[in-house]
A and B are shown apart, each in its own frame.
Chain A
C-alpha cells in the first residue's frame, strides 16, 4: 500500500469517529449515572447484604485499570461464560460499570455532606426517609455533587479512547488509521486531540451552568 496524503473525506471519517466516541460516552455516562445513583440509594437505606456488595464492587472497579477491565470483559467473559460479545457491547458494559463506581463514590459523599441537623428537623416534622431524601438531601447533594461529577465525566470522555484497543472505531481509532495511511502523526494527533478538547470543554461548560442553577440558594442576592 502506498502512503497517501489527506483527502476531504478524512474530515467525514474524523467526525464519524467523534460521533462514536461521544455516543458511547453519552450512553455509558447515562447508564453509569443512573446505576451509581441507585447504588447510593441502596446504601442510604442500608439494604442488608446488598449495600456491602455494592461498596465492594465499586471498590474493585475504581481500584483497577479500565484497560484491564475492558480486556476482562471483552476477552475473559466470552471465554469463561461462553457468551458472544461485540467490541461495542464490551465497551458499553465496561465503561458504564466503571462510571457507576465513581458516581457511587461521589453520590455517597454528597449525601453525607448534608448536615445531620436538617435531617433531624425534617424527621421530627414527620417526613419519611424517602421524603427527606427527595426534598432535603437530594437537592443539596446534587448541588454538592455536580462539580465532581462534571470532572468525572470529562475524564470518562478521555477514557473512551481506550476502547480503540479492542477494535471499536472511535475517534482514536480513526486517528490511528489516518496516521498509518498518511504517516503524518503530528497533524493527525493534534487534530484528534483538539476534537477531544472541544468535546470536553463543551461538557465542562454545560456542567458549570447546571452547577450555578443548583447552587442558586447559596448565592448572596443582597438584602
Chain B
C-alpha cells in the first residue's frame, strides 16, 4: 500500500501541501485533479522522494521515503513518468529504458534489452529502439518515458501530468497506452488535467485545492450531483475544464 499521512510541504512562506492524507491499494487507479498550483505535482514529488517533507509521513509498502535507508527501497517500488519526459538525451530509447534495470536491479544487459524491446513493441515503438530522444516526436518520447518506468516493474506507477506537453493527437496515443495498463491491473497515481479520461480509467478521484485534499471519492460518486459536484469549488473547476 502507498500511504501519505498528514503530509505537509512548504516552499518559503507558501504552504503547498497542507495535511494531505491518501492511500492507494495495489490494483487501484487513483486520479488527482486540481487547478495549477494546487499541489498535485508536489505530492508526486514527495512520494518519489524528490522533495523533503516538512511534516507527516509517506510510506511505499511500509518503506518510509523520509528515511535515507528506506528511500532506495521505496523508489524501487514506484516508477515515475514526468510531464516533460526527462529522458537522457545522449542515450537511445533502448538505453534510456535499460539504464536503471541494469544499474539498479542488476539485470543482465541482454535480458534488460529483451524486456525493453518487448515494452517498446507494446507501445508501438518496436522499430525505434535505436533512436535518440531528439529524433522522436513528443508523443513517442513520452511513450519511451512510460516504458522506462515500466521496465523497473514498479508496484505503483506515478504519472505527473504526462500529457500536458503533448498535442491532442499525441495525447490520445499516450492515454490509449495508459488505458491498456489500467485494464491490465497496473496501480497508478495519475495527476492530470484530462478529466474525461480520468473518469474512464479511475477507481477513485482525489481533488486538491490550495494544498488541501478536498475530497477523495469513488469515481462515480465524484461526478454525481450529491457527491463531488455538491462541493462548489469542484463544480466550478469541472465546469471550467469542460468548456475548454
Interface size on A, residues (CB 8 A): 23
Q: B86 interface residue, CB < 8 Å from A?
A: yes
Of chain B, the residue at the smallest CB distance from A134 is B103
CB of B99 within 8 Å of the partner chain: yes
Please pick, from B76, B100, B134, B152, the residue contacting A218 in the complex, using a CB distance under 8 A: B134
Whether, in the assembled complex, B90 has its beta carbon less than 8 Å from a beta carbon of chain A, the answer is yes
Q: Does A92 sit within 8 A of B, measured CB to CB? A: no
Is A123 in contact with chain B by the CB < 8 A criterion? yes
Partner of B86, one of A117, A131, A222: A117
Total B residues in contact with A, Cβ cutoff 8 Å: 26
Residues of B within 8 A of A221 (CB): 132, 135
Interface string of B91-122 (1 = CB under 8 A from A): 10000000110011000000000000000000
**With contact pairs A117-B82, A217-B132, A223-B135 given, residues A125 and B75 touching in the complex (Cβ less than 8 Å):** yes
Partner of B90, one of A121, A127, A140, A220: A140
Q: Which residue of A lies closest to B136 (CB)?
A: A223
Q: Shortest Cβ distance from B144 into chain A, in angstroms?
A: 12
Partner of B75, one of A115, A118, A126, A143: A126
A40 to B89, CA, bound (A): 22
Let me know if A117 and B84 touch, CB within 8 A: yes
Whether, in the assembled complex, A59 has its beta carbon less than 8 Å from a beta carbon of chain B, the answer is no
Residues of chain A lying within 8 A (CB to CB) of residue B34: none
A115 to B76 CA separation, bound complex (whole angstroms): 23
Contact indicator B103/A124 (Cβ below 8 Å): no
> Interface on A for B, CB 8 Å cutoff?
115, 117-118, 120-127, 131, 135-136, 139-140, 143, 217-218, 220-223
Residue positions of B touching A, CB distance < 8 A = 48-50, 72, 75-76, 79-80, 82, 84, 86-91, 99-100, 103-104, 132, 134-135, 148-149, 152
A-B contact list, 5 entries, CB within 8 Å: A117-B86, A118-B87, A127-B100, A217-B134, A221-B132
